[in-house]
Structure 1
Amino acid sequence: MSVNATSPVPVRRAHSPFMAVAAVTLLTGLGAGIGGMLLALLLHGIQHVAYGYSVSHVVSAASFLDGVSDASPQRRAMVLTLCGLVAGLGWWALYRYGRPLVSIRAALKSDDPQMPLMSTTIHALLQIVTVALGSPLGREVAPREIGSALAGWLSRRAGLSVAQSRIMVACGAGAGLAAVYNVPLGGAVFVLEVLLGTFGWSVLVPAVVTSTVAALVARLGLGNEFQYLTPAMTLNASLTVWSIVCGPVFGAVAWWFVELTKRSRAAAPKDWRLPVLSLLNFAMIGMLAMYFPQLLGNGKGPASLAFDGGLSISLAATLLVLRVAITASSLRAGAEGGLLTPGFANGALLAIVLGGLWTLVWPGASPGAFAVVGATAFLAASMQMPITAVVLAFEFTRVSQEFLIPILFAVGGALLAFQACAKWVPAAKPVRGWFGCGGVNKV
């Protein structure tokens, strides 16, 4: 308490802005970590029940692909039909009866950066449940939304300014990504490069702290696992030259993929057609999964096969075409989810095709090495986040740092080709800043 110089009435001191920001930072990291951990455990649990594989393998790297492959073809079709019902009825009911959703991008632009807690939570849970049942979309948006919604609520309770609240909402999204994929540096860089576009200290410190805390907390339930197991690989001249030659190919294909998915999302219904289209779409995917179980899920399975060298050129090409088709059709039907891991898988599959053809002329590089480089280049171009993509690739796979050279060559070529396509292809519009997360031009 203190006394005003002109009045004897005691005046209460305002709380410290630094302490308020510090408290919200720590609580956001803690909450995002718990949320990401619980969402991941829910996803693995649903996968186990739906496809009936051993609960002891719930968090192993290849458990989902092994589980769906061991399940009968009829079971796969039935589970995907159920996925269509859940997706269609769930999102239709949310749009009809829930509060309007606010994307992370919209919250960051708002003077009141809040996201409705109940609607956002339901939206996130629907994504997790449908991906667990076999939807080809990514699961990374759900923990980001939970982290951002929590950060916005905490910021309001702590009385933070609008600018501070926006930073915390972005940090909540990065922390959710860090928690669910065990990528603390990737989560922080995602905030800095993609969401806020600055590496200033006022953003850098909370971004690093929230993502680190979230990743550490999530490890309590998920373990210190990384996403993809890769065999020992070495760098050679063949791979380096290939990355220079084929980098632009990944950028051009990534541009086409972005345009396809953007238009599919824009045309998605929110009325009575959503349940109908969703059921038809996932029933079709279920029929395809009877013959290609690798199609199910967010793309982690086929990407893992690509890194292990377990795919032929023909099978990789088939899976690539089918995965792109079912990703677009799922978005068109009204399903929601991310495109980070699907894009990473697409790049790996395309790399197996291009790399396999390359080895006919210049052998020496392993299929897995092609896949790591191609996956990173495709992700960097499709989501327009080169630094984040490179960091995520190394945290996902833990490959040697010597792969930084071909990866950077491929990423640079992919970005140039993507921007060239966005500028020169007729009727195309640049999509810089579009990240495939919850709607057109939304994060």
Structure 2
Amino acid sequence: MHAQPPRPRVPGSPLIRFAVVTVLTGIGAGLGGMALALLLHFLQHVAYGYSITRLIGNESFYEGVEAASAGRRIAVLAACGVIAGCGWFAIYRYGRPLVSIKKAVASDDPRMPPVTTAAHALLQIITVALGSPLGREVAPREIGSLLAGWLSHYAGLSVEQTRLMVACGAGAGLAAVYNVPFGGAIFILEVLLRSFEVRVVIPALVTSVIAAVVAWLGLGDASQYVVPHFGLSANLVTWAIVTGPVFGVAAFAFVQLTTKARAAAPKGWMLPLLSLANFLIIGLLAVSFPQILGNGKTPAQLGFSNELTIGLAGTLLVIKVAITASSLRAGAQGGLLTPGMSNGALLAIVLGGLWTLIWPGTPMGAFAIVGATAFLASSMKMPITALVLMVEFTRVDHDFLVPMLCAVAGSIAISRSLELRMQAHARSSKPGSELKGAAVSRG
């Protein structure tokens, strides 16, 4: 093992230092998430020429893209391809190796390389702003974790405390950029730390709440999605129970597709070429389907507000899945939280439309919210976080938790079953496994 560098120390007891770092991590993640979100809005407005004087206004990204000419859409996506390809090529060629948040949380030295991580985060924000179909949620999480690791090292916290702060920085960044304080905390506990002990619950809640409140300074206290009121019905609950497993199968397939695409992405000279070709194709598709541009918030919002037909939802679903996978294959980077949620909403509209032929009466938006939750829960392997995020994203009534829980349960059950079956098949396919099994049976 490598010798650890000496940790700087600052005055104060260990508990006081830990408390100060916790508060500063929340503040820093809030400011970082706010700055990245404002940068995203600024670049969107400049690229597509709308609401130049107001970063946070009433005109949505979709409205700005729809008003832009076909030539402008293609040109912006071509620029996105050049920036993405050259940017990530430079990071891989000249930067220090990237350290993921999960690796940092599990490491003996949880710090992340500052320059490479910051450049990686900025590239994600820039490309998503220009129209990349990948998510923007990884960037604020990386900035929050980067800051938390630096603060923890400076304060002389223990390795265990530093790991905790790195995880809290990631959740706080998520809370800030999406205004989901409870969702950010649950993300820390369920996904990064896999623990709900009091010693980790308190800093997770504190950092996420502080970050969300700080981000209100620039982003306001608004929900991510505006949805009409949907009432609870036996129709919707029954549909959720029946279709939950379908979302599990779809999410499992999506994860397999995107994992293989990411693994096959180039890091050498082919990256700029593939990136340019990929985003040019997306630009051409956006001439007829402006809804596909961005991380998936547009189709999700249109679905939640009953503005998509079954045919258009099915078409957008196919295109979104294809360009998400192709962008990862071409070397672009970004999250899959909003893309997964969007896929779930679009699939739900298709399934819901078929369901209404048998049992009419439920709005398409209600199906979309439940389906988005079920897909997100399985595709990101975070059932509790998905439920909390969707409630905070949409601010639906708590009664809606009933169909959401039913759909998530079925989705998680089938996706986990498929995952275990795939793992068992992989183990049995390893060289020597048959001989080993035969030896065991003879014994």
- Indicate the TM-score class for this superposition, using the shorter chain for normalisation: over 0.9
**1:424 to partner: Cα distance:** 3.0
Give the Cα separation in 1 of the matches to 2:313 and 2:59.
18
Partner residue in 2 for 1:297 = 294
Give the Cα separation in 1 of the matches to 2:336 and 2:285.
21
Deviations 1:156-175 (A, max 9, x none): 00000000000000000000
Q: Which residue type is aligned with residue 329 of structure 2? A: R
Q: Could you list the runs of 4 or more consecutive aligned residues of structure 1 that deviate by over 4 angstroms after TM superposition?
A: 425-430
Q: 5 Å matches for 1:340-419?
A: 340-419=337-416
Give the Cα separation in 1 of the matches to 2:333 and 2:345.
23
Give the Cα separation in 2 of the matches to 1:427 and 1:92.
36
Partner residue in 1 for 2:76 = 79
Task: Give the secondary-structure state (helix, strand or coil) at the position aligned to 2:176.
Answer: helix
1:175 aligns with 2:172: yes
1:90 aligns with 2:70: no
1:32 aligns with 2:29: yes
CA contact (8 A) 1:61 1:228 kept: no
Partner residue in 2 for 1:117 = 114
Partner residue in 1 for 2:313 = 316
Among 17, 21, 24, the alignment partner of 1:20 is: 17
TM-score by length of 1: 0.93
Partner residue in 2 for 1:274 = 271
**1:225 to partner: Cα distance:** 1.0
1:283 aligns with 2:275: no
Change (3 A) 1:133 1:427: farther
Change (3 A) 1:111 1:402: same
Task: Give the secondary-structure state (helix, strand or coil) at the position aligned to 1:384.
Answer: coil
1:257 aligns with 2:254: yes
Give the Cα separation in 2 of the matches to 1:238 and 1:61.
34
Q: Give the root-mean-square deviation of aligned CA atoms.
A: 1.6
Change (3 A) 1:177 1:108: same
Among 423, 431, 439, the alignment partner of 2:420 is: 423
Q: Which residue type is aligned with residue 209 of structure 1? A: V
**1:109 to partner: Cα distance:** 1.2
Partner residue in 1 for 2:214 = 217
Q: 5 Å matches for 1:87-166?
A: 87-166=84-163
1:59 aligns with 2:53: no
Deviations 1:69-105 (A, max 9, x none): 1111111111000000000000001111111111101
Task: Give the secondary-structure state (helix, strand or coil) at the position aligned to 1:55.
Answer: coil
**1:276 to partner: Cα distance:** 0.5
Task: Give the secondary-structure state (helix, strand or coil) at the position aligned to 1:225.
Answer: coil
Q: Bigger CA drift: 330-339 or 53-62?
A: 53-62
Deviations 1:250-301 (A, max 9, x none): 0000000000000000000110010000000000000000110000000000
Give the Cα separation in 2 of the matches to 1:233 and 1:166.
41
TM-score by length of 2: 0.93
Task: Give the secondary-structure state (helix, strand or coil) at the position aligned to 1:136.
Answer: coil
Among 327, 331, 336, the alignment partner of 1:330 is: 327
Partner residue in 1 for 2:240 = 243
CA contact (8 A) 1:347 1:375 kept: yes
Among 203, 225, 228, the alignment partner of 1:206 is: 203
Task: Give the secondary-structure state (helix, strand or coil) at the position aligned to 1:270.
Answer: coil
Give the Cα separation in 2 of the matches to 1:42 and 1:329.
25
**1:387 to partner: Cα distance:** 0.4
Give the Cα separation in 2 of the matches to 1:81 and 1:13.
49
Structure 2, gaps ≥5 residues long: 1-8, 428-443
Q: Bigger CA drift: 176-185 or 91-100?
A: 91-100
**1:34 to partner: Cα distance:** 0.3
CA contact (8 A) 1:422 1:428 kept: no
Change (3 A) 1:374 1:98: same
Give the Cα separation in 1 of the matches to 2:231 and 2:59.
23
**1:55 to partner: Cα distance:** 3.1
**1:36 to partner: Cα distance:** 0.3
Change (3 A) 1:256 1:177: same
CA contact (8 A) 2:10 2:156 kept: no
Partner residue in 1 for 2:188 = 191
Q: Which residue type is aligned with residue 117 of structure 2? A: T
Give the Cα separation in 1 of the matches to 2:194 and 2:332.
29
Give the Cα separation in 1 of the matches to 2:418 and 2:58.
36
Deviations 1:111-156 (A, max 9, x none): 0101011111100000000000000000000000000000000000
CA contact (8 A) 1:62 1:301 kept: no
**1:61 to partner: Cα distance:** 7.0
Q: Bigger CA drift: 209-218 or 58-67?
A: 58-67
Structure 1, gaps ≥5 residues long: 1-11, 431-443
Give the Cα separation in 1 of the matches to 2:120 and 2:200.
27
Deviations 1:227-267 (A, max 9, x none): 00001111111101000000000000000000000000000
Give the Cα separation in 1 of the matches to 2:314 and 2:82.
30
Task: Give the secondary-structure state (helix, strand or coil) at the position aligned to 1:361.
Answer: coil
Q: Bigger CA drift: 56-65 or 85-94?
A: 56-65
Give the Cα separation in 2 of the matches to 1:217 and 1:205.
18
Give the Cα separation in 2 of the matches to 1:429 and 1:318.
34
Give the Cα separation in 1 of the matches to 2:161 and 2:10.
20
